[in-house]
Amino acid sequence: MASFGIIGSKGRMGQALASAVEEAGHTLAGGVDAGELPGPLALQADVLIDFSAPAALEANLKAARVAGVPILIGTTGLDDTNFAAIKDAAKAIPVLQTGNTSLGVTLLSALVKQAAERLGDDWDIEVLEMHHRHKVDAPSGTAKLLGEAAARGRGVYLEEKMESGRHGQTGARKSGDIGFATLRGGSVAGDHSVIFAGEQERLTLSHSAENRTIFARGAVRGAEWLIGKPQGRYTMEDVLDL
């Protein structure tokens, strides 16, 4: 049994996490939200789970480092500055950062990478995602995670091949691009598909989230795994030994 601290505890994911922690037989050290300091919580917890906001990440990482506790980061919409801070923190503590904590999506990512490796460059790759109307970032962290998996499979950098701004007279599709399409509406927890389109055939790898509980359960499993690990940067693929 471990003690979990939740950063972003009053949000929809924070509430789901609290239930998942209890369901897994652990204890809740407490939670913090916008305007509250994470330091005291970090000192009481065996592990932190952060589903807050990119602007809070630096303070959350600092609190984890001072307390010497691992932290799982599920916050999306991160930029290069955030990733640099994560890399720096991982020199001192174990840090697991992911765009999606679902175990199903984690396995999907591995399958996408394998498909991109095995299929030729003449297969076009498109990532399609849909989320509820309240989601503020696009493409989603999960869509980017899947795009990055495809890019790794092809041995390229996603930043150089990503196409997410099609509008108007765009011209023909560029060979090797990894396209993204974003849908928003209703209460969709998260639907993601990676389409490999070849000549006269098409392969689609998909995952549908029916409830955000799956993300909470995956986050708890990832946080359990992170406890006791040496300093370093980890992913959900490490949790499933993929």
- Catalytic residue set: 131, 135
CA nearest neighbour of 152 among 235, 63, 211: 235
Q: Are 124 and 179 a contacting pair, CB within 8 Å?
A: yes
Q: Residues 73, 30: contact at Cβ < 8 Å?
A: no
| Beta sheet of 3-7, edge-to-edge order | 27-32, 3-7, 47-50, 71-73, 94-97, 232-234
The single-letter DSSP state of residue 164 is -
Strand partners, 192: 129, 207
Q: Which of 242, 229, 187 is nearest to 71 (CA)?
A: 229
CA–CA separation, 72 vs 74, rounded Å? 7
- Tell me the two tokens of residue 85: 């801070």
Please state, in angstroms and rounded to a whole number, the distance separating the CA atoms of residues 197 and 205: 11
Q: Give the three-class secondary structure for 210.
A: coil
